[in-house]
């Protein structure tokens, strides 16, 4: 039921994430009218949610059980994000210190213009939390 990644959540964005190299992920998305801010433009909170999800998925490309919480997320909005347009998200781990990770990500147009970007500090879930989650059931994964 995740708002961004829940592929069965008909009220959400239903984004699927794909491996884009070691500790890197990508996703394709088009934002519809339900997530509008100003007319024809995606709501900034939706853009932040997409960036939060792409940076959080970066660690899963190297380890399918490496789930992380976001401790800090900084978003820079470069241009407005149009609705009904093919967009690409890319995320990667920049610095890995074990349980604490620095990651970054961007939202691009089809021609490569950066619409928004983010940097994040991520923290691995504690073992007791991870053990209580049925990862296959919730569907948090990166597709090879």
pLDDT tens figures, 43-90: 999 999 999 999 999 988 888 878 899 999 999 999 999 999 999 999
Q: Which residues, 6 or more positions from 28, have their beta carbon under 8 angstroms from its beta carbon?
A: 86, 87, 88, 89
Output the pTM of the full model.
Answer: 0.91
Q: Which helix (H) or strand (E) holds 90?
A: strand 87-96
User: Which of the following CATH numbers is that of domain 18-138: 3.40.640.10, 3.40.50.300, 3.10.129.10, 3.30.1330.20?
Assistant: 3.10.129.10
Q: How confident is the model at residue 138 (pLDDT cuts 50, 70, 90)?
A: low
For the chain, the structural domain boundaries read 18-138
Distance CA 62, CA 76 (A): 27
Query: Strand, helix or coil at 27?
Result: strand
Mean pLDDT score, 7-31: 93
């Amino acid at each position: 039921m995740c708002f961004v990644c829940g592929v069965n959540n008909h009220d959400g964005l239903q984004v699927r994430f794909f491996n884009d190299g070691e500790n890197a992920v990508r996703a394709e998305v088009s934002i519809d009218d339900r997530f509008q801010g100003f007319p024809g433009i995606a709501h900034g909170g939706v853009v932040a949610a997409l960036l939060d999800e792409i940076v959080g998925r970066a660690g899963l490309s190297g380890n399918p059980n490496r789930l992380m919480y976001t401790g800090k997320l900084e978003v820079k909005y470069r241009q407005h994000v149009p609705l009904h347009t093919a967009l690409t998200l890319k995320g990667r781990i920049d610095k890995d210190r074990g349980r604490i990770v620095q990651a970054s990500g961007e939202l691009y147009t089809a021609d490569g213009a950066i619409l928004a970007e983010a940097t994040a500090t991520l923290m691995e879930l504690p073992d007791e939390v991870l053990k209580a989650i049925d990862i296959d059931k919730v569907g948090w994964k990166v597709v090879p």
